[in-house]
Homo-oligomer: A and B are copies of this chain.
Amino acid sequence: MAVKLGRLKLNNPVMTASGTFGYGEEYAGYVDLNRLGAVVVKGLSLKPRLGNPPPRIMETTGGMLNSIGLQNIGVEAFIEEKLPFLRKYDTAVIANIYGETYDEFKKVAKKLSLAKGVHALEVNISCPNVKKGGASFGTDPKIAARVTRTVKDETGLPVIVKLTPNVTDIAQIAESVEKAGADIISLINTLTGMSVDLNTRCPHLKNITGGLSGPAIKPVALRMVWQVIQRVSVPVIGIGGIMTAEDALEFLVLGAKAVEIGTANFVNPHATLDVIEGIKNYLADHKIKDINDIIGTFRN
């Protein structure tokens, strides 16, 4: 089940999505992390972040809204307190990084590159929950390219650039970050949404808007992954609404080299393992020996 995303080698194509699997340890009691393709940790910023005031989440039809506001312990605490635990596993550790300025991205990338046990950086240029910056980085091809270059200049690690779906032309952004040196492109982050509490006539989320995730967004994620794959040559990681092995296989058939599983972990902490098992069974049923023989077999 091993896959290669350029220099990044994974035991299997099933990764966790940032912000939905904590720092790994939260689910270590449910999932043997050694069985995962990779653990992508919660978005890290230079300094610890408080995050947004509650309420932060709301259920929607087939999904949920979140406005966590990137609460995290900061890159230094991560390296000291969380990384040692993750190092014990024979699974790729991918640090999802976030900044509000180019300089922040630069510093966070540098610190993580010096730390032992980080296998790649995933650059979140798309978090739609933080009022300042966030989305803006990922919605302009030039700015997205500049963030990519900034991070690339600081690290020798493979750089995954994670795109926001809240754009008119996702393929244009993808091409632009590819040109800027992105080694891998992952998508999608959450769609910006909101909901209204009719008892109070206030938003359900204190932050008013939040990021929509879960199976509700899968069709949009598949469409964007397909659009991007047709236009870039770097490996693509598919993200968005994956609950089952069939969902994951849809992305792989389109040509994604790997997938990230997010919200599904919340409703089924075994989701990642169930998806891995399910893919194995599908390959067996269809007498396909190598996972790579299914990737990109989409016909139209």
What 19 additional pairs, Cβ within 8 angstroms, besides A61-B216, A195-B218? A60-B216, A61-B62, A62-B62, A62-B215, A62-B216, A63-B219, A167-B168, A192-B223, A193-B218, A193-B219, A193-B223, A194-B222, A195-B219, A196-B222, A198-B246, A198-B282, A201-B298, A202-B298, A202-B300
Chain B's closest residue to A209 (CB) is B223
In whole angstroms, what is the CA distance A208 to B300 when docked?
A: 7
Q: List 12 A-B contacts (CB under 8 A).
A: A61-B63, A167-B168, A191-B219, A191-B220, A192-B220, A194-B222, A195-B218, A196-B253, A196-B298, A198-B250, A200-B299, A201-B299
Tell me which residues across on chain B come within 8 A of A282, comparing CB atoms. Answer: 198
Give residues of chain A (214-248) contacting chain B, Cβ–Cβ below 8 Å.
214-220, 222-223, 226, 241, 246
Interface residues of A (CB under 8 A from B): 60-63, 65, 139, 166-169, 191-196, 198, 200-203, 208-209, 212, 214-220, 222-223, 226, 241, 246, 249-250, 253-254, 282, 297-300
In whole angstroms, what is the CA distance A284 to B249 when docked?
A: 50
CB distance from A105 to the nearest CB of B (A): 21
- When all copies of this chain in the complex are counted, the total is 2
Chain B's closest residue to A191 (CB) is B220
In whole angstroms, what is the CA distance A63 to B217 when docked?
A: 10
In whole angstroms, what is the CA distance A223 to B207 when docked?
A: 12
In whole angstroms, what is the CA distance A62 to B250 when docked?
A: 18
In whole angstroms, what is the CA distance A262 to B232 when docked?
A: 36
CB distance from A11 to the nearest CB of B (A): 23
Tell me which residues across on chain B come within 8 A of A217, comparing CB atoms. Answer: 216
Say yes or no: A218 contacts B61, CB within 8 Å. Answer: yes
Say yes or no: A196 contacts B61, CB within 8 Å. Answer: no
Say yes or no: B297 contacts A201, CB within 8 Å. Answer: yes
Chain B's closest residue to A245 (CB) is B198
With A193-B223, A223-B193, A249-B198 as known contacts, state yes or no: A215 contacts B61, CB within 8 Å.
Answer: yes
Partner of A220, one of B167, B193, B241, B249: B193
Tell me which residues across on chain B come within 8 A of A298, comparing CB atoms. Answer: 196, 201-203
Tell me which residues across on chain B come within 8 A of A209, comparing CB atoms. Answer: 223, 226
CB distance from A31 to the nearest CB of B (A): 23
CB distance from A212 to the nearest CB of B (A): 5
With A299-B201, A300-B208 as known contacts, state yes or no: A250 contacts B195, CB within 8 Å.
Answer: yes
CB distance from A241 to the nearest CB of B (A): 7
CB distance from A59 to the nearest CB of B (A): 10
Chain B's closest residue to A164 (CB) is B168
Tell me which residues across on chain B come within 8 A of A194, comparing CB atoms. Answer: 219, 222-223, 226
